[in-house]
Chains A and B, each alone.
Chain A
Amino acid sequence: MVKITIDGITTEVPKGTTILEAAESVGIRIPRLCYFKEINEVAACRVCVVEVEGANRLLAACNTVCDEGMVIKTNSRRVRNARKNNVKLILTKHNTSCTSCIRDGSCALQDITKEFNITGQVIENPHEKLNWDLSEPLIRDNSKCITCFRCYNECHKVQELTVWSILGTGRRSYIGLDPRRGDLHTMCALCGQCITHCPTGALTARDDTARFYEAIDDPDLITVVQVAPAVRSAYGEMLGLPKEVATEKRMAAAIKALGVDYVFDTNFSADLTIMEEGSELLQFLGERDGLPKGEFVEGKRRGDFPMFTSCCPGWVRYMKLKYPEMVPQLSSAKSPQQMFGAVTKSYFAEKIGVDPEKIFCISIMPCTAKKYECDVPELQDAAEKDVDMVLTTREFSRMLRGVNVEKLDEIEFDSPLGTGTGAAVIFGRTGGVMEAALRSAYFLVTGENPAPEVFCDMGPEGRSAGEGRPWREAEYKVGDAVVRTAVTSGLANTGKLVEAIKAGEVSYDFVEIMACPGGCAGGGGQPIHDGEEYAACRGSMLDRLDIESDIRYSHENPDVIALYDGYLEKPLSHKSHELLHTDQREWSL
């Protein structure tokens, strides 16, 4: 412990505590801007500076560690002067078109400008020209970038892709794509974590809300919405709604209120995914002795490597970018979003007797990579576009600003694609797909339901695979067979797991990966809370929904049973393959 004095308060803090953390421990909040706990402690913005007795310069509170006997002033004239000037300097380089900025209201720079009571135009501001293809799912506008390095470090440390480079030097230094290294298509998983960690509007997901309204306004189109599990855990945050108000059923009502014809649930197709992927897993386990081992045979699945889940397009992109030789190990099952689109434009179209091209299929997703996925040519099997467009949770919430959600009565999702089980809803957090798959695989093999909690070691609180192994692992007895499983989220963690598998240090049968830390609950399309991570608390909301569900096994979903009985016959049938599976090798980036 070291003894320090902050603004006259004497306290003791553990060795290694930063001034910023120490101040917080005695209730003093030091303003900060570029800082993001653990990910970005680089002291670039110089907003968190404090005065330390005996030091000739002001020191950054975010990355200066407390020394024994330090006497710190967090609010002296020198400190206030430097902080205010530094924010003003940032504003001289910032495109302050705040009223029309997507981050108006959730912008850290805006907050600090207000906090310091900086008003009026500071200095004439000839900001950067926007130099970006606006049709990309992920957009960088350097006129709003304050070079805080958060995106760089998030991508570098947490996702280990290093899409963003620090380019140029001196006054011309900036963060962007280094064309010598590649472009978004050849480097980026499109996970959107840089967006959710950006303090300003420099990084955004493409806004597709205009297209949504066009579709609603088109009298010839039947609009169908699917909404992903993780969305229900977060849509109320930007609206300031308490959890008790922002329920699943009120979300269904809100979507209806926007004017769509059918409100369905991606939980339905998550259950369907389990039926297909679970069956594929059992088939893989049965066939694996006959599969090649030891080295990669082009385009062939290897029997000594696991099968990987494929519902996360960020992860699928990562696999294709970094480990193209391992792509056959991915499950051929499409993601729940794409399965939903394919079923809507075949089974549902037939059911209501309309031309599939007259249906406009909209997803609401916690994800930016889904915007990419719905456009992948290899995934269109029921119509020209199986899923026509994707809105993020943020876009959805922004549209709801014009709806008085609080006053809406709860409604049920529409039928026949609106039922989901507890197994489906946990798709929205890390480990959920694995748990759901194991629940049904166990039933398919033994004919009996396992207790749903049996597989909870795969969840966020589950058993770690050991030091230096940022993933969870377990072995489960399914019938006579033992299934060895592993789960991780975040791409740096993923890289370590895949490398360990490749090196033969570990061996599994089935592995679940989600690109975003914590899974979809922490997705790149979710609401942004500056400086805070929300994945864990959203994940536990999803767990509660699972526990409260009447049905907790995908194979018991009545809508899914009806779909197989009346249309698909059985998992992995010819028709299923046509609509619900894809050839991962043909899907190129």
Chain B
Amino acid sequence: MNRLSINNDSKTVIAMKGLLNDRIRRSHVAPAGNCPVNMCASYARQCLSESCGKCIPCKVGLERVAELLEEVEDGKGTPKHLTDIKDLLESIRDSADCAIGFSAADDLYKATQEAWDDLESHVNKGVCNSVVESIPCKSGCPAHVDIPGYIALTKAGRYADAVRVIRYDNPFPASCALVCEHPCERYCRRNMIDDSVNIRGIKRSAVDGAGKVDPPECMPSTGKRVAIIGGGPSGLTVAYYLQLMGHQTTLFERRKKLGGMMRYGIPRYRLPDEYLAYDIDTILSTGVDVKLGNDITDKEFNEIKHEYDAVYISIGAHAANKLGIEGEDAEGVLSAVELLRAMGDDEAPDFKGKRVAIVGGGNVAMDCTRTAKRLGADVTCVYRRRQEDMTAQPEEVLGAIAETCRFMTMAAPVRIETDSDGKVSALIVQPQIPGEYDRGRPMPVSAERDEVRVECDIVVAAIGQKIDSGAFEAAGVPTNRNRISASDDTKVDTEGLIFSGGDVTSGPSTVIRAIEAGKTAAANIDQALGFNHRLPRDIEIPYANAKIPPKTGRINLPEREALDRAGDFTVIEGRMTDQELHQECDRCLRCDHYGMGSVRGGRESW
């Protein structure tokens, strides 16, 4: 027997590693609405399977926790079960020998504390508050678009019907085909087999294939008038659905054009004008009365309130956060909002040959970085955390890197230096190291290193937006830290039928969340006005395919070559070929037919 040998994984070990990977993939799409007691119990069991078996708290304690949770789940729980679970988890966390035990107990302790009401509900009322998700992509989409429906239609070549099905829940099929953050794909059940369906890519093909599709006919006029303040995705969504329901809407927009952040935030290379126009033109064709260049004051708001039967406030979040550092007011410092707004109005600043520093790590920072690049600048994106901590979508970051934008991470801006003319000459940053976790990310901590000087002519602060709700606050609309306070049904708790949604209530968020708010508001405004208009769902969806293709690679959308695209504002992303489209549509598991989708039955109107 030799003293050492090379370790090769046995067949079993390879199989188990594969199984653990399968488990990871499945847990990404596991429905979070499932019974929390069951989820905690199975988590305890899984951690137990990792236990080495040495120390008692982990080996025996985790099993006891699992048993107690299972008894609660089985309706045999008593209040003592709950206190026992809490006590036990505390002591395992405190006394287990290694991380297998103490981190498991810590995770479970936090989770059970957060879900305490649910545990109590099992014990005291015998009720589980879990929600069964029937169609994961549809539940995951904030607007609840009938995704399996339009994929089936796209597959059948019925592109116009696909667009109609999307518009039933979301009047921005074209814009969302290019820019939606597609939370639906995260929940796609296909993740359990290989990878999610490229839902957004399919939508793009449907829209491109459909050409112009007229909206459905408006219902007979109700004589009701609704004012909408702010013409972004949320306001336009309200306008569209209320028009279809027979109400007359008037849309007040502060800027020269409609679209809100879709125009004044998202760069053209991601969302070309013609796609935005495709959606907005359809919406306006329902008869919306648009008043551009109308910045509503508190006095005007009060007049509108009296003149209209209901009001929807959707002014978005268009004010910039300040860096709060020395030199911020120097010439050459601007906010992301200012830069992107100018782009939206076709008033691009002259960045040619200039050195531009972008501060921030979110999607807006990436938009600014890549926009500056296209304006001919030498760009550096400065961020105080690690690249993986950026809130921007990874493909945005990688896209910017490919376009030869520089990235300086772990660097916190401390001051802006100016030249003798008062113009920006450099951004001074303090190197950082990642520290302890706070809300899911490590906090940056100053490194024991010297400050670094980033020479530049322009500094763009892309560190978040604020809400400019002063006029409404002055008119008595309740706000909380500048956000308008509206409940989940978008109703504002004040006299009159005042509703509000989108970024102005949620803070900066995605297009699809704004559409969700608009759809919610449209339904509730209709009801508040004394109606129950339901738009007809009259498009027949093709039958589900009997054969499900085996593990098949996801088709990603092509992008223009990085150096080629970095010089212009033409759209980056391409579309699928017919062959790719057919294969990708085929990958859809039709969860409207298989699984709970067919039990919950039918495509209900909202």
What are the residues of chain A within 8 A of B33 when measuring CB–CB?
169
* Interface check B548, CB cutoff 8 A: yes
B599 engages A153 (CB within 8 Å): yes
User: Which chain A residue lies CB-closest to B600?
Assistant: A166
Majority secondary structure of chain A interface residues (helix, strand, loop or mixed): loop
B546 engages A56 (CB within 8 Å): no
Give the CA-CA distance A291 to B546 in the complex, in Å: 60
* Interface check B35, CB cutoff 8 A: yes
User: Which chain B residue lies CB-closest to A64?
Assistant: B546
Task: Output the least CB separation between A257 and chain B (Å).
Answer: 46
A41 engages B598 (CB within 8 Å): yes
B598 engages A42 (CB within 8 Å): yes
Give the CA-CA distance A180 to B34 in the complex, in Å: 17
* Interface check B73, CB cutoff 8 A: yes
What are the residues of chain A within 8 A of B545 when measuring CB–CB?
67
What are the residues of chain A within 8 A of B127 when measuring CB–CB?
167, 178-180
* Interface check B128, CB cutoff 8 A: yes
* Interface check A16, CB cutoff 8 A: yes
B547 engages A54 (CB within 8 Å): yes
Give the CA-CA distance A56 to B549 in the complex, in Å: 9
What are the residues of chain B within 8 A of A44 when measuring CB–CB?
599
B601 engages A156 (CB within 8 Å): yes
Give the CA-CA distance A250 to B422 in the complex, in Å: 111
* Interface check B593, CB cutoff 8 A: yes
Partner of A52, one of B130, B546, B550: B546
Q: Which of B239-263 contact A (CB under 8 A)?
A: none
* Interface check B11, CB cutoff 8 A: no
Interface centre among A54, A63, A169, A173 (most CB of B within 10 A): A169
B546 engages A59 (CB within 8 Å): yes
How many positions in chain B have a CB within 8 Å of any CB in the partner chain? 27
B125 engages A179 (CB within 8 Å): yes
Give the CA-CA distance A180 to B131 in the complex, in Å: 13
What are the residues of chain B within 8 A of A180 when measuring CB–CB?
127
Majority secondary structure of chain B interface residues (helix, strand, loop or mixed): loop
Give the CA-CA distance A179 to B130 in the complex, in Å: 14
What are the residues of chain B within 8 A of A56 when measuring CB–CB?
547-548, 550
* Interface check B38, CB cutoff 8 A: yes
* Interface check B74, CB cutoff 8 A: yes
* Interface check A157, CB cutoff 8 A: yes
Q: A56-B550, A57-B548 are in contact. Are A16 and B543 (CB under 8 A)?
A: yes
User: Which chain A residue lies CB-closest to B33?
Assistant: A169
Partner of B128, one of A70, A156, A168: A168
* Interface check B132, CB cutoff 8 A: yes
Task: Output the least CB separation between A501 and chain B (Å).
Answer: 15
Give the CA-CA distance A169 to B601 in the complex, in Å: 18
Partner of A172, one of B125, B128, B548: B128
Query: CB-CB contacts of A252-271 with B at 8 A, as 1s and 0s?
Result: 00000000000000000000
* Interface check B287, CB cutoff 8 A: no
Q: Which of B4-35 contact A (CB under 8 A)?
A: 31, 33-35
* Interface check A123, CB cutoff 8 A: no
A179 engages B126 (CB within 8 Å): yes
Query: CB-CB contacts of A80-117 with B at 8 A, as 1s and 0s?
Result: 00000000000000000000000000000000000000
What are the residues of chain B within 8 A of A167 when measuring CB–CB?
127-128
Q: A172-B73, A172-B128, A179-B125 are in contact. Are A166 and B599 (CB under 8 A)?
A: yes
Task: Output the least CB separation between B40 and chain A (Å).
Answer: 13
* Interface check A149, CB cutoff 8 A: yes
Give the CA-CA distance A542 to B495 in the complex, in Å: 60
Give the CA-CA distance A558 to B469 in the complex, in Å: 81
B38 engages A170 (CB within 8 Å): yes
B601 engages A173 (CB within 8 Å): no
What are the residues of chain B within 8 A of A64 when measuring CB–CB?
544, 546
A149 engages B35 (CB within 8 Å): no
Give the CA-CA distance A366 to B601 in the complex, in Å: 30
Task: Output the least CB separation between A340 and chain B (Å).
Answer: 40
Task: Output the least CB separation between A155 and chain B (Å).
Answer: 12
Task: Output the least CB separation between A13 and chain B (Å).
Answer: 13
A65 engages B132 (CB within 8 Å): no
Q: Which 7 A-B pairs have the closest CB atoms?
A: A65-B543, A169-B34, A42-B599, A55-B547, A168-B128, A169-B130, A169-B35
Q: Which residues of A line the B interface, CB within 8 A?
A: 16, 41-44, 52, 54-57, 59, 63-65, 67, 70, 149, 152-153, 156-157, 166-173, 178-180
A-B contact pairs, 13 of them (CB 8 A): A43-B598, A54-B547, A56-B550, A67-B546, A153-B599, A153-B601, A169-B33, A169-B34, A169-B35, A171-B38, A172-B74, A172-B128, A179-B125
| Given A167-B127, A172-B38, A178-B127, 14 additional A-B pairs, CB 8 A | A41-B598, A54-B547, A55-B546, A55-B547, A55-B548, A65-B544, A67-B546, A156-B601, A166-B132, A168-B130, A172-B35, A179-B125, A179-B126, A180-B127
